[in-house]
Amino acid sequence: MPKIGPCNYATGYVGAPYVKGSPTSKAAALAVLPRIGTQRHKILEYLKKCGKVGATDEEIQRHLGIKSDSETPRRGELVQGDHVVDSGRTRKTTMKCEATVWVIKKYGSKKCKSSTEKP
């Protein structure tokens, strides 16, 4: 019986179980990541609606009503699963700080510098 990799906060992997040592099993587990958590799914769907404009963590939190201590790790899991990427752009938060603009993978580009568009 193969060993199954569980959710493991120590290593940073949180998601579906997979067979340890099997890259294809782990890839499959990461591929289903957005489907196994409602917050991850909501974040991914919101970023799909935002399209190329994307959204900062603060914008995601405000729009979906998810607190930062829940949204940031869920968005991080989507990044780890290669569903969401850093757009290469930033946007000011309500506190006037620059924040990363996140987009779904198909809109990712490190060539852009900044954006004033809002979702």
Rounded Cα–Cα distance for residues 34 and 31 (Å): 8
Task: Determine contact, residues 35/51, Cβ cutoff 8 Å.
Answer: no
User: How many C-beta neighbours within 10 Å does residue 42 have?
Assistant: 18
Q: What is the pTM of this model?
A: 0.66
Per-position pLDDT tens, the chain of length 119: 344 444 444 444 555 667 888 888 877 777 766 655 578 889 999 999 999 999 999 999 999 999 999 899 989 988 988 889 999 999 999 999 999 999 999 887 654 444 445 55
For each of the domains in the chain, give its residue range(s) and CATH number, in order of start. Answer: 1-31 (no CATH), 38-119 (1.10.10)
Contact 67, 11 (CB under 8 A): no
- Amino acid 7: pLDDT: 43
pLDDT on residue 35:
58
